Structure 1
Amino acid sequence: MRVLIAYATHAGSTAEIAAFIASELNNDGISAEAKEIKEISNPGEYDHLIIGGPVYVGRMKEVEEFCKRNQATIRERIIGAFIVGMAFTGDEGKQEEARKILDTAIAPFRPGRLGYFAGKIDPSKLSFFERTALKLVKSPIGDFRDWDAIRVWITGVAEDLKG
Protein backbone atom coordinates (compact mmCIF):
# COMPACT_ATOMS: atom_id res chain seq x y z
CA MET A 1 0.00 0.00 0.00
CA ARG A 2 1.37 3.40 -1.03
CA VAL A 3 0.04 6.69 0.29
CA LEU A 4 0.65 10.10 -1.26
CA ILE A 5 0.40 13.23 0.84
CA ALA A 6 -0.27 15.82 -1.88
CA TYR A 7 0.16 19.34 -0.56
CA ALA A 8 0.32 22.96 -1.54
CA THR A 9 2.51 25.33 0.43
CA HIS A 10 3.16 29.04 0.47
CA ALA A 11 6.03 29.60 2.90
CA GLY A 12 6.97 26.05 3.87
CA SER A 13 4.88 25.39 6.99
CA THR A 14 2.47 23.04 5.20
CA ALA A 15 5.39 21.22 3.56
CA GLU A 16 6.77 20.51 7.02
CA ILE A 17 3.39 19.18 8.19
CA ALA A 18 3.06 16.98 5.09
CA ALA A 19 6.58 15.59 5.64
CA PHE A 20 5.67 14.89 9.28
CA ILE A 21 2.52 13.02 8.21
CA ALA A 22 4.55 10.90 5.77
CA SER A 23 7.22 10.20 8.38
CA GLU A 24 4.70 9.15 11.03
CA LEU A 25 2.87 6.87 8.58
CA ASN A 26 6.18 5.31 7.52
CA ASN A 27 7.07 4.76 11.19
CA ASP A 28 3.73 2.94 11.50
CA GLY A 29 4.64 0.58 8.65
CA ILE A 30 2.66 2.39 5.94
CA SER A 31 4.59 3.44 2.83
CA ALA A 32 3.96 7.18 2.48
CA GLU A 33 5.47 10.03 0.51
CA ALA A 34 4.84 13.79 0.67
CA LYS A 35 4.94 15.70 -2.62
CA GLU A 36 4.09 19.25 -3.52
CA ILE A 37 1.03 19.34 -5.79
CA LYS A 38 2.88 21.11 -8.60
CA GLU A 39 5.37 18.20 -8.74
CA ILE A 40 2.74 15.44 -9.05
CA SER A 41 2.23 14.12 -12.56
CA ASN A 42 0.22 10.98 -11.80
CA PRO A 43 -1.54 10.61 -8.44
CA GLY A 44 -2.91 7.31 -9.75
CA GLU A 45 0.47 5.71 -8.97
CA TYR A 46 -0.62 5.63 -5.31
CA ASP A 47 -3.24 3.52 -3.58
CA HIS A 48 -4.45 6.29 -1.27
CA LEU A 49 -4.30 10.10 -1.18
CA ILE A 50 -4.23 12.69 1.55
CA ILE A 51 -4.57 16.24 0.24
CA GLY A 52 -3.72 19.41 2.14
CA GLY A 53 -2.69 22.99 1.96
CA PRO A 54 -2.77 26.40 3.56
CA VAL A 55 -5.48 29.01 3.51
CA TYR A 56 -4.04 31.86 1.49
CA VAL A 57 -6.11 34.98 0.78
CA GLY A 58 -9.26 33.07 1.70
CA ARG A 59 -8.75 30.12 -0.64
CA MET A 60 -6.86 26.91 -1.25
CA LYS A 61 -6.43 27.61 -4.97
CA GLU A 62 -3.76 24.98 -5.76
CA VAL A 63 -5.70 22.30 -3.90
CA GLU A 64 -8.91 23.23 -5.75
CA GLU A 65 -7.16 23.05 -9.12
CA PHE A 66 -5.46 19.73 -8.28
CA CYS A 67 -8.80 18.22 -7.25
CA LYS A 68 -10.51 19.40 -10.45
CA ARG A 69 -7.70 18.10 -12.69
CA ASN A 70 -7.63 14.69 -11.03
CA GLN A 71 -11.26 14.07 -10.06
CA ALA A 72 -11.55 10.44 -11.17
CA THR A 73 -8.30 9.41 -9.51
CA ILE A 74 -9.01 11.29 -6.31
CA ARG A 75 -12.56 9.95 -6.01
CA GLU A 76 -11.22 6.39 -5.80
CA ARG A 77 -8.29 7.11 -3.49
CA ILE A 78 -8.86 10.03 -1.11
CA ILE A 79 -8.80 9.07 2.56
CA GLY A 80 -8.00 12.38 4.22
CA ALA A 81 -7.57 16.10 3.77
CA PHE A 82 -6.15 18.87 5.90
CA ILE A 83 -6.01 22.63 6.02
CA VAL A 84 -3.37 24.78 7.68
CA GLY A 85 -4.17 28.28 8.82
CA MET A 86 -3.86 30.84 11.54
CA ALA A 87 -7.64 30.67 12.03
CA PHE A 88 -7.00 27.58 14.14
CA THR A 89 -5.19 29.58 16.81
CA GLY A 90 -8.40 30.70 18.47
CA ASP A 91 -11.42 32.47 16.97
CA GLU A 92 -14.27 29.94 16.43
CA GLY A 93 -15.88 32.08 13.71
CA LYS A 94 -12.68 32.08 11.69
CA GLN A 95 -12.33 28.34 12.21
CA GLU A 96 -15.78 27.73 10.73
CA GLU A 97 -14.85 29.91 7.75
CA ALA A 98 -11.64 27.89 7.25
CA ARG A 99 -13.60 24.63 7.41
CA LYS A 100 -15.82 25.91 4.60
CA ILE A 101 -12.72 26.82 2.59
CA LEU A 102 -11.46 23.23 2.90
CA ASP A 103 -14.88 21.82 1.93
CA THR A 104 -14.91 24.04 -1.17
CA ALA A 105 -11.34 23.14 -2.14
CA ILE A 106 -11.87 19.38 -2.02
CA ALA A 107 -15.47 19.35 -3.33
CA PRO A 108 -17.14 17.05 -4.22
CA PHE A 109 -15.01 14.69 -2.13
CA ARG A 110 -15.77 13.89 1.50
CA PRO A 111 -12.86 11.93 2.94
CA GLY A 112 -13.26 10.24 6.29
CA ARG A 113 -10.50 12.21 8.01
CA LEU A 114 -10.34 15.99 7.95
CA GLY A 115 -7.55 17.79 9.76
CA TYR A 116 -7.63 21.42 10.86
CA PHE A 117 -4.19 22.60 11.92
CA ALA A 118 -2.80 25.90 13.13
CA GLY A 119 0.18 27.04 11.12
CA LYS A 120 3.33 29.05 11.34
CA ILE A 121 4.05 32.56 10.14
CA ASP A 122 7.69 33.42 9.60
CA PRO A 123 7.87 37.03 8.36
CA SER A 124 11.34 36.43 6.90
CA LYS A 125 9.73 34.13 4.29
CA LEU A 126 7.09 36.65 3.25
CA SER A 127 7.07 39.54 0.81
CA PHE A 128 6.86 43.15 1.93
CA PHE A 129 3.20 43.22 0.86
CA GLU A 130 2.41 40.08 2.88
CA ARG A 131 4.17 41.43 5.98
CA THR A 132 2.24 44.68 5.67
CA ALA A 133 -1.07 42.81 5.29
CA LEU A 134 -0.30 40.77 8.43
CA LYS A 135 0.22 43.96 10.40
CA LEU A 136 -3.04 45.44 9.13
CA VAL A 137 -5.10 42.40 10.15
CA LYS A 138 -3.10 41.95 13.37
CA SER A 139 -2.33 38.34 12.57
CA PRO A 140 -0.40 36.40 15.20
CA ILE A 141 3.24 35.78 14.30
CA GLY A 142 5.03 32.60 15.28
CA ASP A 143 4.78 28.82 15.17
CA PHE A 144 1.40 27.61 16.41
CA ARG A 145 1.53 24.08 15.03
CA ASP A 146 0.40 21.49 17.57
CA TRP A 147 2.45 18.43 16.65
CA ASP A 148 0.68 16.26 19.23
CA ALA A 149 -2.74 17.08 17.73
CA ILE A 150 -1.39 16.39 14.24
CA ARG A 151 0.00 13.06 15.48
CA VAL A 152 -3.42 12.10 16.89
CA TRP A 153 -4.98 12.84 13.49
CA ILE A 154 -2.31 10.74 11.76
CA THR A 155 -3.04 7.84 14.13
CA GLY A 156 -6.66 7.94 13.00
CA VAL A 157 -5.59 7.93 9.35
CA ALA A 158 -3.29 4.95 9.99
CA GLU A 159 -6.13 3.06 11.68
CA ASP A 160 -8.38 3.75 8.69
CA LEU A 161 -5.70 2.48 6.30
CA LYS A 162 -5.11 -0.69 8.27
CA GLY A 163 -8.88 -1.10 8.52
Structure 2
Amino acid sequence: MTTSVLVAYGTKSGSTAGIAEIIAETLSEQGLRAEARPAREVEEPAEYDAVILGGGLYAGRWHRDARRFARRHQRALAGRPVWLFSSGPLDASASERDIPPVKGVARVADRLDARGHVTFGGCLEEGARGWIARSILKQGRGGDFRDTEQIRAWAQGVAKEVEARQAGG
Protein backbone atom coordinates (compact mmCIF):
# COMPACT_ATOMS: atom_id res chain seq x y z
CA MET A 1 0.00 0.00 0.00
CA THR A 2 1.33 3.42 -0.95
CA THR A 3 1.72 5.91 1.84
CA SER A 4 -0.45 9.00 1.44
CA VAL A 5 0.77 12.45 2.45
CA LEU A 6 -1.29 15.62 2.70
CA VAL A 7 0.49 18.90 2.07
CA ALA A 8 -1.94 21.49 3.48
CA TYR A 9 -1.18 25.18 3.28
CA GLY A 10 -2.38 28.67 4.06
CA THR A 11 -1.50 31.33 1.49
CA LYS A 12 -2.46 34.88 0.65
CA SER A 13 -0.97 35.48 -2.78
CA GLY A 14 -0.12 31.93 -3.89
CA SER A 15 3.57 31.81 -3.00
CA THR A 16 3.09 29.22 -0.24
CA ALA A 17 0.80 27.22 -2.53
CA GLY A 18 3.68 27.05 -5.01
CA ILE A 19 5.98 25.68 -2.32
CA ALA A 20 3.35 23.10 -1.31
CA GLU A 21 3.05 21.98 -4.94
CA ILE A 22 6.83 21.49 -5.20
CA ILE A 23 6.78 19.46 -1.97
CA ALA A 24 3.90 17.26 -3.16
CA GLU A 25 5.53 16.74 -6.56
CA THR A 26 8.83 15.76 -4.92
CA LEU A 27 7.11 13.33 -2.54
CA SER A 28 5.31 11.76 -5.50
CA GLU A 29 8.62 11.37 -7.34
CA GLN A 30 9.85 9.49 -4.24
CA GLY A 31 7.01 6.97 -4.56
CA LEU A 32 4.53 8.44 -2.09
CA ARG A 33 0.97 9.45 -2.89
CA ALA A 34 0.95 13.17 -2.12
CA GLU A 35 -1.43 16.01 -2.74
CA ALA A 36 -1.25 19.72 -1.98
CA ARG A 37 -4.49 21.30 -0.80
CA PRO A 38 -5.54 24.61 0.75
CA ALA A 39 -5.81 24.04 4.51
CA ARG A 40 -9.26 25.60 4.66
CA GLU A 41 -10.60 22.96 2.25
CA VAL A 42 -9.37 19.89 4.14
CA GLU A 43 -12.17 18.22 6.04
CA GLU A 44 -10.51 15.02 7.27
CA PRO A 45 -6.73 14.76 7.51
CA ALA A 46 -7.05 11.41 9.33
CA GLU A 47 -7.34 9.69 5.94
CA TYR A 48 -3.66 10.50 5.31
CA ASP A 49 -0.69 8.61 6.73
CA ALA A 50 1.37 11.78 7.18
CA VAL A 51 0.75 15.52 7.03
CA ILE A 52 2.86 18.51 6.09
CA LEU A 53 1.34 21.85 7.07
CA GLY A 54 2.65 25.14 5.80
CA GLY A 55 1.79 28.77 6.02
CA GLY A 56 2.97 32.09 4.78
CA LEU A 57 4.31 34.49 7.39
CA TYR A 58 2.69 37.89 7.60
CA ALA A 59 3.89 40.39 10.19
CA GLY A 60 5.44 37.55 12.20
CA ARG A 61 2.29 35.39 12.20
CA TRP A 62 1.50 32.22 10.33
CA HIS A 63 -1.34 32.43 7.83
CA ARG A 64 -4.76 32.16 9.50
CA ASP A 65 -5.76 29.04 7.52
CA ALA A 66 -2.68 27.13 8.72
CA ARG A 67 -3.32 28.15 12.34
CA ARG A 68 -6.98 27.13 12.13
CA PHE A 69 -6.13 23.81 10.48
CA ALA A 70 -3.72 22.94 13.29
CA ARG A 71 -6.28 23.82 15.95
CA ARG A 72 -9.29 22.19 14.25
CA HIS A 73 -7.52 18.92 13.43
CA GLN A 74 -5.26 18.53 16.46
CA ARG A 75 -6.86 15.22 17.50
CA ALA A 76 -6.81 13.77 13.99
CA LEU A 77 -3.12 14.65 13.68
CA ALA A 78 -2.14 13.03 16.98
CA GLY A 79 -0.14 9.88 16.45
CA ARG A 80 0.72 10.54 12.81
CA PRO A 81 3.89 12.16 11.55
CA VAL A 82 3.55 15.91 10.97
CA TRP A 83 6.03 18.39 9.53
CA LEU A 84 5.66 22.15 9.30
CA PHE A 85 6.99 24.80 6.96
CA SER A 86 6.80 28.55 6.81
CA SER A 87 7.44 30.88 3.91
CA GLY A 88 8.16 34.50 4.13
CA PRO A 89 11.60 36.09 4.23
CA LEU A 90 11.91 38.43 1.27
CA ASP A 91 15.63 37.96 0.98
CA ALA A 92 18.09 35.08 0.61
CA SER A 93 18.36 34.44 4.37
CA ALA A 94 16.26 31.25 4.33
CA SER A 95 18.65 29.70 1.78
CA GLU A 96 21.71 30.76 3.74
CA ARG A 97 20.83 29.55 7.24
CA ASP A 98 18.24 27.72 9.31
CA ILE A 99 15.55 30.15 10.46
CA PRO A 100 13.68 28.95 13.55
CA PRO A 101 9.89 29.06 13.62
CA VAL A 102 8.18 32.18 14.92
CA LYS A 103 6.63 31.80 18.40
CA GLY A 104 3.15 30.87 17.18
CA VAL A 105 4.47 28.20 14.84
CA ALA A 106 6.76 26.84 17.57
CA ARG A 107 3.67 26.43 19.79
CA VAL A 108 1.87 24.58 16.97
CA ALA A 109 4.94 22.35 16.52
CA ASP A 110 4.87 21.48 20.22
CA ARG A 111 1.12 20.82 20.27
CA LEU A 112 1.30 18.57 17.21
CA ASP A 113 4.59 16.94 18.20
CA ALA A 114 5.90 17.93 14.76
CA ARG A 115 8.94 16.06 13.48
CA GLY A 116 10.41 19.20 12.02
CA HIS A 117 10.00 22.72 10.74
CA VAL A 118 11.70 24.69 7.99
CA THR A 119 11.41 28.27 6.82
CA PHE A 120 11.64 28.87 3.07
CA GLY A 121 12.09 32.18 1.31
CA GLY A 122 8.92 33.89 0.20
CA CYS A 123 7.72 35.62 -2.91
CA LEU A 124 6.10 39.01 -3.31
CA GLU A 125 5.56 40.23 -6.83
CA GLU A 126 3.58 42.94 -8.62
CA GLY A 127 -0.15 42.52 -8.23
CA ALA A 128 0.05 41.38 -4.61
CA ARG A 129 -2.96 42.39 -2.55
CA GLY A 130 -2.90 44.54 0.54
CA TRP A 131 -1.51 47.88 1.55
CA ILE A 132 1.55 46.41 3.27
CA ALA A 133 2.42 44.24 0.27
CA ARG A 134 2.12 47.18 -2.11
CA SER A 135 4.24 49.30 0.23
CA ILE A 136 6.99 46.66 0.32
CA LEU A 137 6.94 46.44 -3.48
CA LYS A 138 7.06 50.23 -3.79
CA GLN A 139 10.24 50.18 -1.65
CA GLY A 140 11.78 47.71 -4.10
CA ARG A 141 11.94 44.88 -1.54
CA GLY A 142 9.82 42.34 -3.40
CA GLY A 143 10.93 39.42 -5.50
CA ASP A 144 10.87 35.64 -5.57
CA PHE A 145 13.17 34.17 -2.92
CA ARG A 146 11.85 30.60 -3.03
CA ASP A 147 14.75 28.16 -3.44
CA THR A 148 13.39 25.19 -5.39
CA GLU A 149 16.43 23.02 -4.69
CA GLN A 150 16.18 23.69 -0.95
CA ILE A 151 12.46 22.84 -1.02
CA ARG A 152 13.06 19.61 -2.97
CA ALA A 153 15.92 18.53 -0.70
CA TRP A 154 13.77 19.06 2.40
CA ALA A 155 10.87 17.13 0.85
CA GLN A 156 13.22 14.27 -0.06
CA GLY A 157 14.31 14.11 3.58
CA VAL A 158 10.68 13.96 4.69
CA ALA A 159 10.02 11.18 2.17
CA LYS A 160 12.90 9.14 3.60
CA GLU A 161 11.53 9.57 7.13
CA VAL A 162 8.02 8.55 6.01
CA GLU A 163 9.38 5.49 4.21
CA ALA A 164 11.48 4.48 7.23
CA ARG A 165 8.43 4.82 9.49
CA GLN A 166 6.34 2.67 7.13
CA ALA A 167 9.10 0.06 7.08
CA GLY A 168 9.01 -0.05 10.87
CA GLY A 169 12.19 1.96 11.39
TM norm. shorter chain > 0.5: yes
Q: Are residues 59 and 129 of structure 1, via their aligned partners in 2, closer, same or farther at CA, if it must alter by over 3 Å?
A: closer
Matches of 1:129 and 1:156 in 2, distance apart? Answer: 35
- 8 A Cα contact 1:64 1:106, kept in partner: no
- Which residue of structure 2 lines up, in the alignment, with residue 62 of structure 1? 65
Question: Secondary structure of the residue that 1:76 maps to in structure 2?
Answer: coil
Q: Are residues 8 and 139 of structure 1, via their aligned partners in 2, closer, same or farther at CA, if it must alter by over 3 Å?
A: farther
Matches of 1:25 and 1:8 in 2, distance apart? Answer: 19
- Which residue of structure 2 lines up, in the alignment, with residue 81 of structure 1? 84
1:71 equivalenced with 2:71 (yes/no): no
Cα offset, 1:110, TM superposition: 3.1
Question: Secondary structure of the residue that 1:11 maps to in structure 2?
Answer: coil
Instruction: Give structure 1 stretches of 5+ with no counterpart.
Output: none
- 8 A Cα contact 2:55 2:87, kept in partner: yes
- Which residue of structure 2 lines up, in the alignment, with residue 114 of structure 1? 117
CA deviations 1:76-127 (Å, max 9, x no partner) are 22331100011663399xx45x543421344412322312100111131223
Query: Which residue, 22, 45, 48 being the options, matches 1:46?
Result: 48
- Which residue of structure 2 lines up, in the alignment, with residue 100 of structure 1? 103
Q: Are residues 88 and 113 of structure 1, via their aligned partners in 2, closer, same or farther at CA, if it must alter by over 3 Å?
A: farther
Counterparts in 2 of 1:130-141, with a 5 A limit?
A: 130-132=133-135, 134=136, 140-141=141-142
- 8 A Cα contact 1:6 1:50, kept in partner: yes
* Percent identical: 32
CA deviations 1:43-74 (Å, max 9, x no partner) are 11111101001001321132221111111111
Task: Provide the TM-score with structure 2 as the length reference.
Answer: 0.83
Instruction: Give structure 2 stretches of 5+ with no counterpart.
Output: 165-169
Task: Provide the TM-score with structure 1 as the length reference.
Answer: 0.85
Cα offset, 1:11, TM superposition: 0.3
- Which residue of structure 1 lines up, in the alignment, with residue 156 of structure 2? 155
Q: Which protein has the bigger helix share?
A: 1
Bigger CA drift: 13-22 or 111-120? 111-120
Question: Secondary structure of the residue that 1:49 maps to in structure 2?
Answer: strand
Question: Secondary structure of the residue that 1:148 maps to in structure 2?
Answer: helix
Q: Are residues 79 and 128 of structure 1, via their aligned partners in 2, closer, same or farther at CA, if it must alter by over 3 Å?
A: closer
Cα offset, 1:148, TM superposition: 0.9
Cα offset, 1:135, TM superposition: 5.7
- Which residue of structure 2 lines up, in the alignment, with residue 12 of structure 1? 14
- 8 A Cα contact 1:14 1:84, kept in partner: yes
Bigger CA drift: 53-62 or 149-158? 53-62
1:125 equivalenced with 2:108 (yes/no): no
Matches of 2:20 and 2:109 in 1, distance apart? Answer: 17
